Amino acid sequence: MNYFLSSRNIVSLLNILRRTYNVYVPIGKGNQRFYKKNPTSTDNIIIGEVRPFEPLKSFYSHAREVVAEGFRSDLVHADDKPSAIVGVKACDLKGFKIQDHVFQSHNFADPFYIKNREENLIISADCTSVLDTCFCLSVDVKPFPQENFDLNLSEISGGFLVEIGSPKGRELVEQNMTLFQAANDAFVKSVKKNRMHIIEEIENNIKNNHVPHQDDFKDMIEKKYESELWKREAETCVECASCNAICPTCHCFFLYDQKNEDEMKRLRMWDSCMVKDFARVAGGANPHKRLWMRLRNRFEKKFDYFPKVAGVYACTGCGRCISGCPAKIDIRKVLKELVTDE
């Protein structure tokens, strides 16, 4: 059963969530959208539109975090409030397919990631507009969430159509039924119409940029492994690692110990396969000593390794790496050349 939540009542719902969660909601700043913690009524809150600049993964494995203090046996940060992330888009939710495989599908699962997955709340939202870098449909991601959410909001006149996606989401609705009302057929039809409009816009994006569909990706890395493409594309790369940091599926990290006279801490930091020291081993050997090799490795992992080991391409079509790259390396252009026969 779907529900209707008015624009006024969503403010009340966010206030209720603050009792239990740190609430993060997208706000507008110029042409960008950023998550803000516990926004106020004066903030430009935007739940629909497009994905925020920050990837969802930053709420589940932090860019820099303490994972051990001294010889404590309990989890660090165990008393922290969980997060309620609002306005999450489908491209970010696909990232869970990779992050879950890495952090919770093995014998030595990550307790910090698992804790966040279990305790955080996700209130996702349909895209209601399109960036010129969006190409989600090429990797079989719809511009509206279909899984991995607790509640989903589809913006319509006067408020939102609410879809329940988990027992946690159902409990939230049942505990606050005064804020919701049953959705009628007109609301549902309006959502379907809006979704079709956004799909058409993204399809035009894909067509105008000649982006291939993932059905054409099979074996493309293997076929073009020795291509001059990698050297050519790497010529402008400045090795800033922006593409790794803002990608919703990139997940590599390193550990280091920080010690002073009073305590010792072990910290985890995001790492980047585009940085020279990433693959360096003892003695100084490096299987990816050239920048173009590291660029190739990034594509190989997303479009060859993960399809083989996890059955999913590790790209969500969010376009963040395009907009975040100072060298203007365009993943769509690279994919097009990879699937083109020479």
DSSP 298-335: HHHIIIIIHHHHTSS-S-----HHHHH-TT---HHHHH
* 95 and 318 Cβ atoms separated by less than 8 Å: no
**What is residue 41's predicted lDDT score, i.e. its pLDDT?**
80
3-class SS of residue 82: coil
**What is residue 29's predicted lDDT score, i.e. its pLDDT?**
86
Which residues, in sequence order, are CB contacts of 186 under 8 Å at separation 6+?
Answer: none
Which residues, in sequence order, are CB contacts of 290 under 8 Å at separation 6+?
Answer: 234
pLDDT in tens, 142-195: 999 999 999 999 999 999 999 999 999 999 999 999 999 999 999 999 999 999
* Rounded distance between C-alpha atoms, residue 1 and residue 18, angstroms: 26
pLDDT in tens, 222-259: 999 999 999 999 999 999 999 999 999 999 999 989 88
* Rounded distance between C-alpha atoms, residue 293 and residue 86, angstroms: 38
pLDDT in tens, 10-68: 999 999 999 999 999 999 988 889 999 999 887 899 999 999 999 999 999 999 999 88
Above 80 in pLDDT, residue 213? yes
- The residue to which tokens 């988990």 are assigned: 166
pTM beyond cutoff 0.85: yes
**What is residue 7's predicted lDDT score, i.e. its pLDDT?**
92
**What is residue 342's predicted lDDT score, i.e. its pLDDT?**
56
